[in-house]
Structure 1
């Protein structure tokens, strides 16, 4: 059981839509129509707070979309969605207040009105009985019922919550992992603590057949990292590329097909460029290594059938992984000019998609 005022890390989901924690109370016990809590994130999209009654017949969702608060409500025969207010994905703690005044649902941020949603239905109000369900970090209805679709994963934290003045504690949703603490201070980036990695199917990266080149750029302080930075395997599971950082020797080892070479880690930008059977590497925009291969596993099919892992070494079998996972903060990973969102990968629950600790 988790007290309602606890600090809760929402960014540790093992199931896309399932909430992290939830609580249930009788509607007749509700004495307040206001919830207040503090919220912090660098994540521009995801579920923050959910509530419903009558087992999901009527429901409310507070989420972020493009960094801005979004409210979706289903009540009686009415569905409504509204977006507005300040951007909240700035890594600062914000005081949030959600309340009801007559036919209006109000959202205040840091003491100022951010969003007002009006509701009206011809349906006669029923006697308020039954159970109320509240949840954080996910929803308790099928996502197909949403008026506006969005990605649910939220790398954020809440604290100091007063949830309708209910005394019932939060409980972990069945099958959830143990609660992870929130970082005391954060900065933008994806944090890999050394216990897992993030995997993308290459086909989801929408890379066209590389007639010219495929471009991958990674930003971060590589001298402060240790472990496998990146790996790439083809559809036949042959290792096409592995990049490993050794913090003690301050070197970066590249395994490209059957070729190996090393370089120093004293850079903040690493660029990998694939041109048919040629591969080049540059640090801070200065090219230093070009390799070539006749290996058939390195042709364009790898971008249709392969897998790209950030933070670990892909194994030969689907479930096999290397153990030298990355420890460190990647500020961003850009593939073909588009920044990767770790929330869209199959990743270990320990990885923070949008936030890194400030050391």
Structure 2
């Protein structure tokens, strides 16, 4: 029954309003919020990394279906979608994405299997997934085509026909070190529109309020003006000699606030790139020096030993250069090896600075030395969406 319940009935049936999570949640007698099985679920909501967003427990004897369908939309290449177990975690199943590709991990009777395959699903389109059980095999279909098949047979396991089945979305209910394949669990994505084992039981949410899914999305990091994302510059593994190249892309005329700032602990020198939605200007300050440009869609910043260059929209005729003397800016390049880098806000003094002048808008691309900067690797405010912006 474990196969038919957990792996055969894979995901929550989700359908809802375009901007909400379906039927309103209700507080049950224990103070927990109950969520309709017809909800649209945004998986990227802030919580402890491996903690499920919603979960439920059902009796195995109540399960009559061995098939589930659902829809997924995400630009995020990695994250947990669904977890199920019996025997309170003795046997378990996890469906996730890694590098945009579906991954199933199964543990049954002490035997573990991991299998990955199918198309990349992190293209921002709604994809229909169907999971069904056929004997000892579990089949995953994507948009009507067979994509992934996993079979498992163990002489040491026994068929579970009674007891409880635990289900969870967006996380797991066991220690994450039991995963055969480790991954980043939080996914900036939405689930909706399917059927879940023909069950109509409510799911339980531990968060106070479920965040909505946007009707239309585009790729990028979305900043609401409530906080920023902070990196230690030392983890960026900068290469390429004595020039650091940072590239930012988006409609800067539609943004407002601090796009980027860098500060070295113990130094007074701070670099900040600020955009003003009212004047449609972008200003870079380094200490007391300042460069101002008209808004653009792409900006290349080149940090060199003796100068700082801004190249808007790949137009070399509009290059702005700030000359830097070694005596006047002694901490200039050490920002990229010893400092902190903030995206979406102005760094203050001290490691515990809450920052200020937060950004409102969408950054479509953030690159350092030609590599995409993953906001999931930063310490960031819960309001920031790492991979999607409302269109």
- TM-score for the superposition, normalised by structure 2: 0.86
Q: Which residue in 2 is equivalent to 1:241?
A: 271
Please list the CA deviations of residues 139-170 of structure 1 after superposition, one character each: whole Å capped at 9, or x if unmatched. 22222111112222211101124322232222
Distance 1:88 1:239 in 2: 43
Q: Which residue in 2 is equivalent to 1:316?
A: 349
Q: Which residue in 2 is equivalent to 1:333?
A: 366
Distance 1:67 1:237 in 2: 41
Does 2:306 match 1:272? no
Distance 1:56 1:21 in 2: 17
Q: Is the 8 A contact 2:305 2:324 kept in 1?
A: no
The Cα shift of 1:289 comes to 2.4
Does 2:225 match 1:191? no
Q: Is the 8 A contact 1:277 1:299 kept in 2?
A: no
The Cα shift of 1:58 comes to 1.1
Does 2:314 match 1:281? no
Distance 1:81 1:178 in 2: 34
Q: Is the 8 A contact 2:224 2:360 kept in 1?
A: yes
Q: Which residue in 1 is equivalent to 2:286?
A: 256
The verdict on how the C-alpha distance between 1:144 and 1:277 changes in structure 2, with shifts beyond 3 A counting, is: farther
Q: Which residue in 2 is equivalent to 1:61?
A: 94
Q: Which residue in 1 is equivalent to 2:164?
A: 131
How many pairs align?
A: 353
- The residue matched to 2:68 in structure 1 has which SS? strand
Which stretches in structure 1 are left out of the alignment for 5+ residues?
A: none
Q: Which residue in 1 is equivalent to 2:6?
A: none
The verdict on how the C-alpha distance between 1:264 and 1:127 changes in structure 2, with shifts beyond 3 A counting, is: closer
Q: Which moved more, 1:234-243 or 1:33-42?
A: 234-243
Q: Is the 8 A contact 1:237 1:316 kept in 2?
A: no
The Cα shift of 1:126 comes to 4.3
Q: Is the 8 A contact 1:234 1:240 kept in 2?
A: yes
Distance 2:76 2:365 in 1: 13
Distance 1:48 1:218 in 2: 30
Please list the CA deviations of residues 174-210 of structure 1 after superposition, one character each: whole Å capped at 9, or x if unmatched. xx463111110111111112222111111221125x7
Q: Which moved more, 1:317-326 or 1:81-90?
A: 317-326
Q: Which residue in 2 is equivalent to 1:112?
A: 145
Of 35, 38, 53, the residue aligned with 1:2 is 35
- TM-score for the superposition, normalised by structure 1: 0.93
Q: Is the 8 A contact 2:74 2:190 kept in 1?
A: yes
Of 184, 191, 198, the residue aligned with 1:165 is 198
The Cα shift of 1:3 comes to 0.8
The Cα shift of 1:77 comes to 2.4
Equivalent residues in 2 for 1:31-42 (5 A)?
Answer: 31-42=64-75
Distance 1:323 1:162 in 2: 45
Distance 2:358 2:222 in 1: 12
Q: Which moved more, 1:318-327 or 1:109-118?
A: 318-327
The Cα shift of 1:124 comes to 4.3
Between Structure 1 and Structure 2, the one with more strand by share is 1
Does 2:340 match 1:295? no
Of 376, 380, 383, the residue aligned with 1:347 is 380
Q: Is the 8 A contact 1:240 1:297 kept in 2?
A: no
Distance 2:208 2:385 in 1: 15
- The residue matched to 1:298 in structure 2 has which SS? coil
The Cα shift of 1:128 comes to 2.5
Q: RMSD across aligned C-alpha pairs, in angstroms?
A: 1.8
Distance 1:180 1:19 in 2: 14
Distance 2:237 2:208 in 1: 32
Of 171, 189, 198, the residue aligned with 1:156 is 189
Q: Is the 8 A contact 2:247 2:298 kept in 1?
A: yes
Q: Is the 8 A contact 2:307 2:321 kept in 1?
A: no
Q: Which residue in 2 is equivalent to 1:145?
A: 178
The Cα shift of 1:116 comes to 0.7
